Amino acid sequence: MEDAFSLEGLEKRFGDVLAVDGVSVRVAPGEVVALLGPNGAGKSTTIDMLLGLTRPDTGQVRVAGLSAAEAMDRGMVGAMAQNGTLLRDATVAELVGLFASLHRNPLPTREVLKRAGVTEYANRRCGKLSGGEQQRVRFALALVGDPDLLVLDEPTAAMDVEGRRRFWASMREYTETGRTVLFATHYLAEAEDYADRVVLMRHGRVVADGPVGEVRAAVAGRVLRAVVPEATEAGLVALPGVSRAVLRAGHAELSCADSDAAIRGLLREFPLAANIEITAVGLEEAFIALTADTPEGQNTAETEGVLR
Ligand SMILES: Nc1ncnc2c1ncn2[C@@H]1O[C@H](COP(=O)(O)OP(=O)(O)OP(=O)(O)O)[C@@H](O)[C@H]1O
């Protein structure tokens, strides 16, 4: 099957800053991919290259086998920028209609308003909308051409909790029809809840790429907590399956790649260990571990499939 889009060896430099440093990602039709990373990781620059707004110094972008510019030209890509300006004096319906007139095969305005969930303020002027409402209008504009690929840079940045919930409900309807979505976000919960796959960037590179659960699992597996009298951190970190140990006042917290081996080793070496508790690492912890500026962020890179 042809990729919905592919990025191959993308590099982009701004003066001294290597904003994107060899990004390669292939996405199949129907995938919903979250692009995660701390500020300055290179997410927006990558998205701009995918949309043909920025030209890569090296590397190639293909969208359904076409160049980014061709795909945009044919209305195959819907984009939602974080801060695109809306015409303040136009109503929402007028603005959608205006965008439709620029497309070869637009959806009917009424349908766009419905899909984006903005029908209720169709007759309000854009300048009178809240930040979150304006963001949903930008989403409507991205849907006008009924695109196969939607590219969203922090779509819910200005939305409150209810706005976000409604936005994602509209998105779900859209993705259920097999469309491909790439969205950048700082909200890890959004990646966990709505993406099939996460691509995690740091310093312009992809540091992890895979299903949400696998990325989470690859980082540290599980955390084991216990009260361990007479232990030392060195003694704990030497246990099988343990990658990191923190000990405070007899309370140990062990990051485990293999929690089964860790618990057996713990009880063997420290038979007085008590109150043992094992929890799965959340995506948030995985994110922090992978994007931290410490060697820890890279230490499992060779051993795990989703990490790079
Ligand atoms: N036009 C530009 N001129 C100079 N430097 C730029 C330009 N655009 C981006 N950069 C730099 O490139 C790096 C990557 O920026 P980018 O905006 O792609 O990151 P990001 O992951 O989207 O960050 P954020 O989460 O803060 O939006 C940053 O160091 C940024 O300062």
| Res 82: pLDDT | 66
* Per-domain boundaries in the chain: 5-217, 219-291
- Closest CA to ligand 1's atom 5: 14
CB of 64 within 6 A of ligand 1: the answer is no
Q: Does residue 219 carry a pLDDT above 70?
A: no
CA-to-CA distance for 63 and 68, rounded, in angstroms? 6
For 87-129, the pLDDT digits (tens) are: 889 999 999 999 999 888 899 999 999 999 999 999 999 999 9
CB of 14 within 6 A of ligand 1: the answer is yes
**Ligand 1 pocket test: which of 12, 35, 39 has the largest number of ligand atoms within 8 Å of its C-beta?**
39
> Whole-model pTM?
0.79
In angstroms, what is the span from residue 92 Cα to ligand 1's centroid?
31
Q: What is 5-217's CATH topology?
A: Rossmann fold (3.40.50)
CB of 10 within 6 A of ligand 1: the answer is no
β-bridge partners, 110: none
In angstroms, what is the span from residue 51 Cα to ligand 1's centroid?
16
| Res 298: pLDDT | 44
Give the right CATH number for 219-291 from 3.40.50, 2.40.160, 3.30.70, 1.20.120.
3.30.70
Edge-to-edge strands of the sheet including 58-63?
17-27, 5-14, 58-63
In angstroms, what is the span from residue 283 Cα to ligand 1's centroid?
24
DSSP SS3 for 239: coil
| ipTM field | 0.96
Return the H-helix or E-strand segment holding 152.
strand 149-153
Q: What atom of ligand 1 comes closest to residue 37's alpha carbon?
A: 21
CB of 42 within 6 A of ligand 1: the answer is yes
Q: Does residue 39 carry a pLDDT above 90?
A: no
Distances (CA, A) of 308 to 22, 144, 294, 295: 12, 37, 15, 13
- The pair phi, psi for residue 68, each rounded to 5°, is -55, -45
In angstroms, what is the span from residue 38 Cα to ligand 1's centroid?
11
